[in-house]
Structure 1
Amino acid sequence: MSVRLRGAVGVLLTVATAACSTAAATEPRVAVPTPGVEARELSIPFDRYNLSPSDIGILEGAEELLIRDCMRRRDMGWEVLPQSAAEDVEPANRRRYGVVEPEIARLFGYHNPPDRPTVARRAAARAGRMRSLSAKERQFAYGEKDGCLQQARNHLEQGTPQVDEALFNRLISETFERSQADPEVVQVFRAWSTCMREQGLQYADPLAAITDRRWMKGGPASQEEIRAAQADVGCKAQTDLVSIWSAVEKRIQDDAVAAHPAEFHALREAKDRQLAAARAVLARG
Structure 2
Amino acid sequence: MRLRLRAAVGALLTAATAACSTAATPMAATPTAAAPRPGVTVPPPGVEVRALSVPFDRYNFSTADISVLEAAEELLVRDCMRRRGMAWEVLPRSAMEDLEPPNRRRYGVVEPEIARLFGYHPPPDRPTVARRAAARDSRARRLSAQERRAAHDEEDGCLEQARSHLEQGTPRVDEALFNKLISETFARSRRDPRVVQVFGAWSACMREQGRQYADPLAAVTDRRWMNDGPASPEEISVARADVRCKERTGLVPVWSAAEKRLQDDAVNAHPAEFRALRAAKDGQLAAARAVLARG
TM range (shorter): over 0.9
Structure 2 runs not aligned, ≥5 long: 17-27
Q: CA RMSD in A?
A: 1.7
Query: Equivalent residue of 1:40, what SS?
Result: helix
Greater fraction helix: 1
Determine whether 1:163 maps to 2:173: yes
Q: Which residue of structure 1 aligns with residue 207 of structure 2? A: 197
For the residues of structure 2 that align with 1:10 and 1:205, how far apart are their CA atoms?
A: 15
How high is the TM-score relative to the length of structure 1? 0.96
What does the per-residue CA deviation read over 1:16-69, in whole Å, with 9 as the maximum and x for residues that have no partner? 784421424x55551111112232111100000000011000000000000000
State whether residues 206 and 241 of structure 2, in contact with CA within 8 Å, keep that contact through their aligned partners in structure 1.
yes
Q: Which residue of structure 2 aligns with residue 262 of structure 1? A: 272
One-letter amino acid of the counterpart of residue 41, structure 1 = A
State whether residues 152 and 159 of structure 2, in contact with CA within 8 Å, keep that contact through their aligned partners in structure 1.
yes
Q: Which residue of structure 1 aligns with residue 4 of structure 2? A: 4
Per the alignment, do residues 141 and 10 of structure 1 end up closer, same or farther by CA in structure 2, a change over 3 Å counting? farther
Matches within 5 A, 1:174-193: 174-193=184-203
State whether residues 78 and 88 of structure 2, in contact with CA within 8 Å, keep that contact through their aligned partners in structure 1.
yes
Matches within 5 A, 1:1-285: 1-6=1-6, 12=12, 14-15=14-15, 18-24=29-35, 26=36, 29-285=39-295
One-letter amino acid of the counterpart of residue 3, structure 1 = L
Q: Which residue of structure 1 aligns with residue 23 of structure 2? A: none
How high is the TM-score relative to the length of structure 2? 0.92
For the residues of structure 2 that align with 1:9 and 1:94, how far apart are their CA atoms?
A: 6
Per the alignment, do residues 152 and 11 of structure 1 end up closer, same or farther by CA in structure 2, a change over 3 Å counting? farther
Structure 1 runs not aligned, ≥5 long: none
1:13 positional shift: 5.4
For the residues of structure 2 that align with 1:10 and 1:234, how far apart are their CA atoms?
A: 18
1:7 positional shift: 7.4
1:6 positional shift: 1.2
For the residues of structure 2 that align with 1:246 and 1:15, how far apart are their CA atoms?
A: 15
For the residues of structure 2 that align with 1:76 and 1:12, how far apart are their CA atoms?
A: 42
State whether residues 28 and 114 of structure 1, in contact with CA within 8 Å, keep that contact through their aligned partners in structure 2.
no
What does the per-residue CA deviation read over 1:74-109, in whole Å, with 9 as the maximum and x for residues that have no partner? 010000000000010011111110101111001111
Aligned residue pair count: 284
User: Which stretch of structure 1 is more off in the superposition, 10-19 or 184-193?
Assistant: 10-19
For the residues of structure 1 that align with 2:281 and 2:10, how far apart are their CA atoms?
A: 18
State whether residues 9 and 172 of structure 1, in contact with CA within 8 Å, keep that contact through their aligned partners in structure 2.
no
Query: Equivalent residue of 1:34, what SS?
Result: coil
Could you tell me the percent identity over the aligned residues?
A: 75
State whether residues 8 and 169 of structure 1, in contact with CA within 8 Å, keep that contact through their aligned partners in structure 2.
no
